[in-house]
Amino acid sequence: MNYYPDPILKLINSLSTLPGIGKKTAERLALHILHAPDTQAATLAADIIELKTSVKLCRVCFALSDKNICKICSDPSRDQSLVCVVENPTDMAAIEKSNAFTGTYHILGGTLSPIDGICPNDIRIDELFKRTDQGKIKEVILATRTNVEGEATASYILEKLKHKKIKITRIASGIPMGGDLQYIDQLTMQKAMEKRYGF
């Protein structure tokens, strides 16, 4: 691609580091940006910088947020006594897309995995227990994935919480075992929410 001047080559290289963007797509995007209005390119660049500087984690549920408390935790129309425990923000997004849940979340930031050396202290399990200790939470829905680590994490949390006066439920099966929450269709997700069962 040496027939392009260096600034184009540099942008092509930067764009190719993104997932699913090969050299050819990167070339097309770079040429599009080159011919796009200056403001569009400036906005794109500014948005990338803003994303990296202003997105933090909600202090309550650890979801991605640009404020100290995220939209969902500060929304009075959401049921604050109902907490859905998920592994990461992508899984939370998948549940939100289904419109099947009106409570709040707790994002663990991973799953227990002794084989990878990930212990309860490495993910936000203690923070969940602190939330349940405050006495406002009536139900905890365990929506970790249905693979080994997700099930183990759900079992661990159940074990620690079952002596408390909190209803603990697991997102219903219907989700294929080993399946990734972000690729589940909405109907399955709604069904899984609706059919959650007690231990």
Q: Strand, coil or helix: what is 187?
A: helix
Q: Does the protein bind a copy of itself through residue 183 (CB under 8 A)?
A: no
Contacting a copy of itself (CB under 8 A), which of 22, 23, 43, 195?
Answer: 43
Pick the piece of the chain touching a copy of itself (CB under 8 A) from 13-21, 134-142, 155-163, 190-198.
Answer: 13-21
Contacting a copy of itself (CB under 8 A), which of 23, 51, 116, 199?
Answer: 51
- CB 67 within 8 Å of CB 55: no
Q: Does the protein bind a copy of itself through residue 186 (CB under 8 A)?
A: no
List, as own/partner pairs, every contact residues 53-60 make where C-beta atoms lie below 8 angstroms and the sequence separation is at least 24, other chains included: 57/107, 60/104, 60/131
Q: Could you tell me which residues come within 8 angstroms of residue 160 by beta carbon, excluding any fewer than 6 positions away?
A: 125, 129
Whole-angstrom distance, CA of residue 182 vs CA of residue 185? 9
Q: What is the dihedral of CA 23, 28, 33, 34, to 10 degrees?
A: 100
Name the minimum Å distance from CB 198 to a copy of itself. 27
Q: Does the protein bind a copy of itself through residue 166 (CB under 8 A)?
A: no
Q: Does the protein bind a copy of itself through residue 2 (CB under 8 A)?
A: yes
- Name the site residues for a copy of itself (rule: CB under 8 A): 1-8, 10-11, 13-15, 17-21, 25, 27-34, 36, 38, 40-52, 54-55, 63-67, 70-72, 89-90, 92-93, 96-97
